[in-house]
Structure 1
Amino acid sequence: MFSMPMALILSSHVAASMVGGGVSQRVLNSARIDTMLVPTVLFGRHPGWGEPGGGPVEQDQFESVLSGIADQGLLDITDIVLAGYFADVGQIFDTASVIDVVRKGRRMNKGVKAALPAPIIVVDPIMGDSPGGLYVSPAIAAAIKDQLITRADLVTPNLFELGHITGRPLTDLASMVRAARAMERPVLVSSLPRHGQIGVLYVDSEQAWLVTHDRLPKAPNGTGDALTAAFINRLLAGDDARTALEQSVAMTVSLVMRAHEWSAPELPVVAAADVLTSPLVTLEAEAV
């Protein structure tokens, strides 16, 4: 029986803003990846717009949602786990446990085989940014590092998060590459200032690639979520790391370009879905 890839997303649900798990879900869906979104918070809008409304999902409810998914047997055929924003430490420990269950899964449920021979665990360590610093508690940041990054196949921090996680000064590109390699797993680092432009860096034990693009006027929130999901899309499409980097950054830049063209306050992930398969720009990575 033919099966599409299945992704389990554990992140924020924000009703009126195109951020968090909502963006991850839509970008993955654009590549025909089925998704299950387990919300860690239920917000009305992004906090950047003001008081968001709603609040964290209580841990017992979070666990109950995961139990329902498990009881349906879907953790056996989960191909991607994408961990994003968390509201409390308990959710992080629950997510770590779910990752362990997914890794041990039978890769078959009710006659349906998983699309991938083994799951891919992606951790977007959403914890802070420059210049504001941490916007989660130190306990949440520590739990992400200790419980989730240690289980990840791919980590996608921004530059501030890379420095916080590794505890290393990031003074130039070489120090950024060394810090990423210190995580001992593939890393996709966003928000790198580079000669007046902005860059995204991919690093693993054997290679390092950098894509830069012009700084656009203030981008809508959610670009990091979109980038991570787009990179996953390209990996599952069979791209090598360099091509996946070039394509996913081009897709994200194209979404921002459409937002500016249409004066959209949010990422137009649905209206501009075409740019997720045919980006408006072509970017070329350089080896570093």
Structure 2
Amino acid sequence: MSSNSEPRVLSIQSHVVHGYVGNKSAVFPLQVLGFEVDAINTVQFSTHTGYKHIKGNVLQNDELEELIEGLILNGVDYYTHFLTGYSRSPDSLKQIAQIITKLRLKNPNLVYVCDPVMGDNGEMYVPEEILPAYRDVVVPLADILTPNQFEAELITGMPMKDLDGALKVIEALHNKGVKIVALSSTDLGDDKVMVALASNRDTCYKIEITKMDAQFTGTGDLFAALFLAWFHKSGSDLKMTLEKTIATMQGIVANTYNAARAKQPTGKIPVEYIELRLVQNKKIIEDPQINVNAVEIKRQ
């Protein structure tokens, strides 16, 4: 099958039985926006790792290989997009690189969207030996890269203390071969807002994101999926993609926060109250209303 009229995504990410991270955070929004999604789950856990007890199992590399082989043998390995998130080992990342090569045999125009999940707020939550595999093997294959600030700094080895630093980091990522760099969140705002950035080498846009006094999980996975979707649907319009992505996320996060605060009016919100409310916000996913515009940044 090689119909270009219908976007088809292969998404290789983590899976949780309860809650919304990894494929659980990415697949539903993509489907709502009209994408066929085939999902392979790198892990199957009861909940995300922010909960007290974690139970489940990990997909072994030979099992992943077998699943891909089955798709190829049955001739159902034509995809317009390939999306990857959390990987647990350098070997699994090298396997991702091999999968991209195989998928591009069937569709040379495959768009690879890579969310290089390694950590946040200055802390890595994957083994350190994953970094060289991302930096040297996977990132150069990516068409669209969606790191947060910490991950972008890790991959480039460069700090991002201000907007000028951010532009240097983005340029370094472009120089690795990445066509579109989208920084899902940075600390370049202030007490009230975070900043997201998106660049296609020629043009760079920034947009402000209102901060909430709560920690959300799965937002990076959601960002990557939405960015993939809107970049395709907008005909590669970078400004609109960033605006639609952030508008959707802001709507979902605000609704999730308000629902959680209704249950827990003061103090720290329990982790089980703050799972992203994707199903309840299907309309926002389908038709996000842009109320914050992206602003073009002039490069020096």
Question: Taking structure 1 as the reference length, what is the TM-score of the superposition?
Answer: 0.91
Report matched runs for 1:190-229 at 5 Å.
190-193=184-187, 194-196=189-191, 197-229=193-225
CA contact (8 A) 1:254 1:281 kept: no
Number of aligned residue pairs: 276
The equivalent of 1:25 in structure 2 is 27
Counterpart position of 2:247 = 250
1:150 corresponds, among 140, 148, 169, to 140
Residue type matched to 1:217 in 2?
Answer: D
Paired with 2:239 and 2:284, the residues of 1 have a C-alpha distance of: 19
Instruction: Render the CA deviation track for 1:150-182: whole Å, top value 9, x for unaligned.
Output: 100010000000000000011101111111111
Say which is worse superposed, 24-33 or 188-197, in terms of deviation: 188-197
Deviation, structure 1 residue 268: 1.1
Q: Which residue of 2 aligns with 1:283?
A: 292
How many Å separate the matches in 2 of 1:226 and 1:246? 14
1:163-202 deviation line (CA, Å, top 9, x unaligned): 0000001110111111111112211002212022111100
Shift of the alpha carbon at 1:98?
Answer: 0.9
Partner of residue 37 from structure 2, selected from 35, 38, 43: 35
Matches within 5 A, 1:61-140: 61-75=63-77, 77-105=78-106, 107=107, 118-131=109-122, 133-140=123-130
> Any gaps of 5 or more consecutive residues in structure 2?
261-272
Shift in Å, 1:20:
0.7
**TM-score normalized by the length of structure 2:** 0.88
Q: Which residue of 1 is the match for residue 155 of structure 2?
A: 165
What SS does the corresponding residue of 1:178 show, helix, strand or coil?
A: helix
Match of 2:264 in 1: none
SS at match of 2:279: coil
Compute the displacement of 1:89 (Å).
2.1
**Contact 1:181/1:204 (8 A) holds in 2:** no
- Whole-angstrom distance in 2 between the partners of 1:155 and 1:20: 16
The one-letter amino acid paired with 1:233 is A
C-alpha RMSD of matched pairs (Å): 1.6
Distance 1:191 1:16 in 2: 25
Contact 1:159 1:189 in 2 (8 A): yes
What's the secondary structure of 1:40's corresponding residue?
A: strand
SS of aligned partner of 1:199: strand
Q: Give the partner amino acid of 1:90.
A: D
Amino acid at match of 2:250: V
Contact map agreement 2:10 2:82 (CA 8 A) in 1: yes
Aligned partner of residue 6 in structure 2, secondary structure:
coil
Give 1:268's match in structure 2, choosing from 253, 264, 277.
Answer: 277
Task: Find the aligned partners of 1:34 and 1:55 in 2 and give their Cα distance.
Answer: 26
User: Which runs of 5 or more structure 1 residues have no equivalent in the other structure?
Assistant: 108-116
Once the two structures are superposed, what CA deviation does each residue of 1:85-123 show, in whole Å capped at 9, x if it has no partner? 112222212211110111121x4xxxxxxxxx8210011
Distance in 1, matches of 2:13 and 2:183, equals 19
Structure 1 position 17, deviation (Å): 1.9
Alpha-carbon deviation of 1:280?
5.2
Within 2, Cα distance between the matches of 1:13 and 1:136?
16
Structure 1's consecutive aligned runs of 4 or more residues displaced over 4 angstroms after TM superposition are none
Q: Alpha-carbon deviations, 1:118-143, whole Å to 9, x = none?
A: 21001100011113x11111222221
